[in-house]
Structure 1
């Protein structure tokens, strides 16, 4: 598996990955994008921002990069950076299929992405990803699977996903929504020729949304690598919006609220890679300080007061505007 390379990495920051959702397209659901991104958000401006972030992440020991077909030009931007950095052979690349970007490089698009978990969509998007990234794809995941997704029961699709191993690519999935735990357990039961199909699972987990914790621990115990997304709850856990208790703990630790939020996730024994969705080099540096706080049981207990019911959390998330 590609994550064996991460396990051998010598820097502690190898457990933190860089996700390019925020910089691969002009619109996303995180707040303050006018503040965080270059004026105009043109393709070349975001290509350059992506390069800056990747350079900074690599220099600080980050070795996992997360992209997707629906993240605008994220795969293209990453491919260009990899071509210009022949020294970065130790970077592990994970991409995702199942959503098509339809935003037309506009913040005002009526629809920014369209979901399709069919075999035909997989074949088309695998060809698109391969055309850009070639043999640099280590992990290819179904994007945002929910319990009703046809991908969980499509045996022909499963056979094709299992065939990715022939080209050295690991099959995984990301999950989304209030029933993440149910989706994870359903995915763990999917086999091809008696062998588990999915070797990684990417899920939302943060101090506000912890409902998938037990299922993620089960996945880890089954030998599945767990990748955590949205550890910052789409910006809700970053100052100045962060809840007061989180900011108080950060002040006591002499670090930022983002570092404490990420440290909470990194402290989970089942968490393999935790993604930073930084849009600026400063945000990335702050995120990497997550390795500094040593959260004790008392701090974790204080943070537990922030947990929301999953239905409420996902209802709030679904209402966030693309901006």
Structure 2
């Protein structure tokens, strides 16, 4: 029981600093919202958004710091976030020194960049920015003053946030790249969606399908008819036939109707040669035959003429007498 009683005061003592920290965070956050609304109302309205107190506060701060008064709002938001996340402590002097120095450097930079800006007769850097800017220009010129106060702004931010600005810049660049990559993917997806939405394929017509079906039916009918038809008869040609002879010798090539074998010619009678010459009987017998042959050649077709010439090559009688007759 004694141990439990001791633990309870210890827990209360540990929770007390956390409650105080959260209270300070709420105060800084509310004051940042109040001051930010009053400044925006002063610049873009009549300045009465936060009432007379907010209007007077915004006028006094703007006349002192100019556009640098917005840096005060940013600093208050940053302190509130650091308190809630347990990164900052209200008692840390580096926090207040860093944000104060960064705000003063920012006012000088605003007065150098927006030198022609005026709001109710007040400059962009307020009285503080104009004074420090004039002092820097007299010592370092305008370009040197700009470089000097940019360097001071970065150093004071490092002191206030206890973080490296290089890491912050790298993180900012990487975050920007990731943002652009995601935007590219988003726009690519939207483009593909619209392309698929407005692109379509034409409907297929029924006529080509019907024509293909008719062609297939005709092909099937032709195949069935070819299967039912009898096979052609094979004809054997004997050796020595006129067809074979025609294929071997182009002189004996018959015409379209010349595949029939011609009739055998009658054997010529033997010539009986006497001492006085050829017998008249033989001459008389051969005369009518030659006349018939000439008539058939004259009245017949060229095919018969070729067959006659071919037969005469092999059936011409010998015109010479035998040695006994001489």
Range of TM-score over shorter length: under 0.3
Q: Tell me: higher relative CO, structure 1 or 2? Use CA pairs within 8 A at least 6 residues apart.
A: 1
Which has the larger share of helix? 2
Could you say which structure has the larger radius of gyration?
2
TM-score (ref. length: structure 2)? 0.20
